[in-house]
């Protein structure tokens, strides 16, 4: 099934700058002149070396930190603080240990003071079913595996039905097998719910497997260096990873990020070093 992507942007970033001032050291340009539009229903991944500003960008979109200058709009409204139109999933599941899975999922909706109690219950059930946690509704976080905790975290975010789901390396702390399973699930869920997603990762294969577009960032200053389109319909099957299209895209991304292709051959100059000396 082809991905149903609207033409209207959910997210519009224009000329975003974020500068961190440091005592007795040069300022850090975590973001410099970053512009990006994300359309309704689109799945966009962001890759780049450590420290290139991926989390800074996501945190600003979430409204958890302010830009130094530039503009960010979600559904046409300037981002000034966190809001019900955005939900964030971080690397470590931030579940409340004294609440069951069901009540943790309800918590996200309670924080937004909407919807009513019976609708919250319905949505929690819907979200638990989506992520495959229905049998664990009454379990506490300490009774869940790492993968299940991240499923609950995702369900909590989905239950608020955000216009934009923001994910910052959500599977970064999981073992390879659990990570692979959750990638497939996120791909299916985003497709089923037409959820617009902005997903940060440093895993190129993950970025390609999930995305309609992969945004590549470079560091010093943090900026967008390339955007690659992945035309294969979502959700993608395992065979996509072995396709010539995937292998060519992976090579292109590796060269762009590390200055190195999939066989380890390349310019010999890592992109970060090349950036710093440019």
Ligand X SMILES: Nc1ncnc2c1ncn2[C@@H]1O[C@H](COP(=O)(O)OP(=O)(O)OP(=O)(O)O)[C@@H](O)[C@H]1O
Q: Which residues bind ligand X (CB under 6 A)?
A: 20, 28, 30, 48, 50-56, 202, 222
- For residue 67, the partner it binds in Mg ion, ligand X, none, with Cβ less than 5 to 8 A by kind, is none
**What sign results for the dihedral spanned by CA atoms 12, 82, 46, 239?**
negative
Q: Which is nearer to ligand X, 1 or 25 (CB)?
A: 25
Estimate the crossing angle of helix 146-159 against helix 176-193, to 10 degrees: 20
CB of 133 to ligand X, least distance (A): 27
Q: Which is nearer to Mg ion, 55 or 87 (CB)?
A: 55
Q: Which is nearer to ligand X, 49 or 162 (CB)?
A: 49
DSSP class of 260? B
Which residue is closest to Mg ion by CB?
A: 55
- For residue 210, the partner it binds in Mg ion, ligand X, none, with Cβ less than 5 to 8 A by kind, is none
CA 23 to the chain's CA centroid? 32
CB of 161 to Mg ion, least distance (A): 26
Assign 165 to helix, strand or coil: strand
Q: Which is nearer to ligand X, 56 or 256 (CB)?
A: 56
Q: Which is nearer to ligand X, 130 or 216 (CB)?
A: 216
CB of 189 to Mg ion, least distance (A): 23
Estimate the crossing angle of helix 117-131 against helix 176-193, to 10 degrees: 130
Please give the Cα distance from 35 to 109 (Å, whole number).
Answer: 31
CB of 202 to Mg ion, least distance (A): 8
Token pair 């495959």 is found at: 132
Contacts with Mg ion by CB under 5 A lie at 55
Spatial CA neighbour of 69 closest among 23, 9, 13, 10: 13
CB of 54 to Mg ion, least distance (A): 5
Report how far apart, in Å, the C-alpha atoms of 22 and of each of 19, 25, 27, 28 are: 10, 5, 6, 8
């Amino acid at each position: 099934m082809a991905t149903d992507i609207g033409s209207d942007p959910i997210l519009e970033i224009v000329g975003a700058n974020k500068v961190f001032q440091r005592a007795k050291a040069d300022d850090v340009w975590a973001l410099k002149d970053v512009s990006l539009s994300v359309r309704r229903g689109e799945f966009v991944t962001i890759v780049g070396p450590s420290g290139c500003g991926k989390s800074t960008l996501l945190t600003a979109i979430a409204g958890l930190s302010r830009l130094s200058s530039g503009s960010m709009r979600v559904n046409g409204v300037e981002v000034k603080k966190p809001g019900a139109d955005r939900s964030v999933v971080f690397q470590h599941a931030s579940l409340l240990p004294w609440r069951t899975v069901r009540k943790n999922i309800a918590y996200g909706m309670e924080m937004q003071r909407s919807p009513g109690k019976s609708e919250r219950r319905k949505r929690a059930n819907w979200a638990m079913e989506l992520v495959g946690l229905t049998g664990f509704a009454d379990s506490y976080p300490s009774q869940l595996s790492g993968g299940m905790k991240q499923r609950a975290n995702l369900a909590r975010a989905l239950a608020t039905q955000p216009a934009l789901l923001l994910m910052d390396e959500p599977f970064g702390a999981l073992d390879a097998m659990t990570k692979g399973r959750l990638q497939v699930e996120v791909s299916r869920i985003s497709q089923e719910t037409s959820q617009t997603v902005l997903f940060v990762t440093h895993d190129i294969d993950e970025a390609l497997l999930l995305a309609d577009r992969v945004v590549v960032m470079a560091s010093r200053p943090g900026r967008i260096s390339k955007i690659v389109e992945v035309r294969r319909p979502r959700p993608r099957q395992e065979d996509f990873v072995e396709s010539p299209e995937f292998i060519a895209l992976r090579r292109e991304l590796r060269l762009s990020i590390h200055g190195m292709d999939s066989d380890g051959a390349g310019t010999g100059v890592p992109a970060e070093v090349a950036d710093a000396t440019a």
